[in-house]
C-alpha cells in the first residue's frame, strides 16, 4: 500500500500548494481553482503507471467525474460568452 | 448429551452402534436411542474444538481486513463530509472563494480515497505471510533434510506443466543434459538420461508472482525492468524500483529500497531469496529459457541480483 500512500500524499500536497499560490496571487474565480486541481490530479494519476488494474479502473472513474465537472465549467463559460 | 440410534442393523442384521452400521454402512436412524460410546465421544471433542476455532480465526481475519480497508474508505468518507460542509459554508454563507476552493480540493481527495479503498486486497498481509511462511518452511525442511547444495534452475512455463517453477538438482554440479520435453507436474523429476539427473521441481514465490503480471515481458531489459517495477512497486509494495542491465547471457538486476530482510538459511542459498526468486522466474519467462541465480547481495535496502540465462542444456 506504499504506492497508494505516496500517491495520495503527493496529490494532497499539490492541491494545498496550489490553493496557497492562487490565494497569494489574488485569484478570486472558483473555476480557475477547480480547473487547476483537475489538471494536476489527472497528470499525477497518469504518472503513476504502476498501479494495479483495479486501482487504475477506479481512478479512471474519478478522472472521468472530474473531467465531467471541467466540461460543465467550460460549457457555462461558453454560454456566458454567447449570452 | 448426544445419543445414537439402534443396536442392530435393519439392513444386514449385525449388531451395530453409532450413526451407521460398521458392517454394511447402512444409516442407523430408527430404533431405540442408545448412548454414544465414551471413546467415540472423546475422539469427537478435538474436532469440535478445532471446528469452533476455525470460524473464530476466519472472523478475526475478516475483521482485520475490514479495518485495513476502512483506513482509506473512512478517510475518504470523512473528507467527503468535511469537504461538502466547508464548500457549502464558504460558498453560500461566508462568501470566501479560497475556502470554497479548499473544500473542493477536499472533495477531490475524498473521491480518490474512496476509489482506492475499494481496491485493497481482502486478505490482510498477516494472513498472506502465514501462508507464505508455511509453504517456505516445508520446502526449506525438505531441501535441508536432503542435503541439497546445488543452485536451483528456474524454468519457464514452456518447460513445465503449469507456471514457471524451480528445478533443484539433487546432486551437486550435475552433468549437462538437454531438456527435450516439458516436465510433468511432479515433485521428483528426471531431467537427463543419467541416473544422477534427478531433481525436485518446486513452486516458488516467483511462480505466483508471474501470474500477477498483466502480460509476459519480452527479453529486452526495458520490458523486464518495467514488469519487475510493476510487480515490486505496484502490486507487492516491497520495493521502490528496479534497474535491469542485460549482456549476452547475464542479467543484472538492482532493486531499490527493498523491505524484505535477507536471510542466510541453507534454503535461500539454494533457491535464492524471495526477491531473487521472483526476478529469476520473471526473467525465465521473459527469455523463455532456464535461468539460475549466480549472485545475490543485499546492502542497505539495495538488492543486487545477477542471473545467468542457460541454454537448452542445463
- In this predicted model, what pLDDT tens digit does every residue of B58-77 receive, in sequence order? 566 555 555 555 788 999 99
Partners of residue B166 on adjacent β-strands: B154, B202
Q: Do A30 and B100 touch (CB under 8 A)?
A: yes
DSSP for residue B219: S
CATH 3.30.1380 placement within chain B: 150-309
C-alpha B176: how far from its chain's center?
32
Burial label, B123 (beta-carbon count in 10 A; 0-12, 13-18, 19+): middle
Residues 6+ apart with CB under 8 A from A77: A31
- Looking at beta carbons, which residues of chain A come within 8 Å of B233? 2-3, 50
In this structure, of B66-75, B84-93, B98-107, the range with the lowest mean pLDDT score is B66-75
The mean pLDDT value for B103-132 works out to 85
Partners of residue B198 on adjacent β-strands: B190
Q: Do A30 and B116 touch (CB under 8 A)?
A: no
Q: List, for residues B193-247, the tens digit of each pLDDT value.
A: 777 778 888 888 888 888 888 888 888 889 999 899 988 888 888 888 899 998 8
Question: Which of B253 and B181 is assigned the larger pLDDT?
Answer: B253
Q: Single out the residue of B277, B278, B33 nearest to residue B168, CA to CA.
A: B277
Domain that holds residue A27: 2-82
Burial label, B280 (beta-carbon count in 10 A; 0-12, 13-18, 19+): buried
- Rounded CA gap, B156 and B164, in Å? 5
B150-309 fold: Muramoyl-pentapeptide Carboxypeptidase; domain 2 (3.30.1380)
Q: Distance from B306 to chain A by nearest Cα, in Å?
A: 24
Q: Distance from B227 to chain A by nearest Cα, in Å?
A: 9
Torsions phi, psi of B146, nearest 5? Answer: -85, -10
Domains identified in chain A, total number: 1
pLDDT of residue A72: 93
In B131-284, beta strands by DSSP E? 153-155, 165-169, 188-190, 198-202, 241-247, 250-256
- Rounded CA gap, B282 and B276, in Å? 10
DSSP, collapsed to helix, strand or coil, labels residue B259 as coil
User: CA B122, B127, B131, B133 torsion: positive or negative?
Assistant: positive
**Is B213 in CB contact (< 8 Å) with chain A?**
no
Amino acid at each position: 500500500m506504499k504506492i497508494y500512500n505516496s500517491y495520495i500524499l503527493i496529490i494532497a500536497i499539490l492541491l494545498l500548494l496550489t490553493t496557497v499560490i492562487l490565494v497569494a496571487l489574488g485569484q478570486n474565480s472558483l473555476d480557475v481553482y477547480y480547473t487547476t486541481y483537475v489538471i494536476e490530479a489527472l497528470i499525477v494519476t497518469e504518472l503513476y503507471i504502476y498501479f494495479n488494474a483495479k486501482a487504475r479502473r477506479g481512478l479512471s472513474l474519478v478522472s472521468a467525474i472530474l473531467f465531467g465537472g471541467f466540461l460543465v465549467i467550460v460549457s457555462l463559460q461558453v454560454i456566458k460568452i454567447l449570452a | 448429551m448426544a445419543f445414537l440410534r439402534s443396536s442392530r442393523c435393519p439392513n444386514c442384521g449385525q449388531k451395530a452402534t453409532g450413526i451407521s452400521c460398521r458392517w454394511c454402512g447402512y444409516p442407523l436412524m430408527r430404533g431405540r436411542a442408545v448412548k454414544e460410546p465414551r471413546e467415540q465421544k472423546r475422539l469427537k471433542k478435538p474436532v469440535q474444538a478445532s471446528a469452533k476455532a476455525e470460524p473464530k480465526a476466519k472472523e478475526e481475519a475478516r475483521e482485520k481486513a475490514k479495518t485495513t480497508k476502512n483506513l482509506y474508505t473512512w478517510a475518504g468518507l470523512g473528507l467527503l463530509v468535511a469537504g461538502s460542509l466547508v464548500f457549502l459554508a464558504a460558498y453560500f454563507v461566508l462568501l470566501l472563494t479560497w475556502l470554497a476552493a479548499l473544500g473542493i480540493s477536499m472533495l477531490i481527495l475524498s473521491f480518490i480515497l474512496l476509489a482506492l479503498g475499494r481496491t485493497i486486497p481482502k486478505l490482510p498481509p498477516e494472513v498472506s505471510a502465514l501462508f507464505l511462511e508455511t509453504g517456505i518452511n516445508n520446502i526449506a525442511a525438505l531441501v535441508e533434510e536432503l542435503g541439497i547444495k546445488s543452485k536451483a534452475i528456474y524454468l519457464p512455463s514452456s518447460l513445465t506443466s503449469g507456471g514457471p517453477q524451480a528445478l533443484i538438482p539433487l546432486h551437486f554440479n550435475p552433468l549437462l543434459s538437454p531438456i527435450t520435453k516439458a516436465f510433468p507436474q511432479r515433485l521428483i523429476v528426471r531431467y537427463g538420461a543419467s541416473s544422477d539427473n534427478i531433481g525436485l521441481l518446486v513452486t516458488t514465490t516467483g511462480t505466483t508472482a508471474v501470474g500477477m503480471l498483466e502480460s509476459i515481458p519480452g527479453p529486452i531489459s526495458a520490458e523486464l525492468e518495467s514488469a519487475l517495477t510493476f510487480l515490486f512497486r505496484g502490486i507487492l509494495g516491497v520495493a521502490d524500483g528496479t534497474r535491469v542491465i542485460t549482456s549476452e547471457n547475464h542479467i543484472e538486476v538492482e532493486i531499490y529500497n527493498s523491505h524484505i530482510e535477507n536471510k542466510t538459511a541453507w534454503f535461500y542459498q539454494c533457491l535464492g531469496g524471495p526477491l531473487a526468486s521472483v526476478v529469476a522466474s520473471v526473467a525465465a519467462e521473459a527469455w523463455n529459457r532456464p535461468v539460475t541465480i549466480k549472485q545475490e547481495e543485499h546492502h542497505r535496502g539495495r538488492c543486487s541480483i545477477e542471473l545467468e540465462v542457460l541454454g537448452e542444456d542445463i
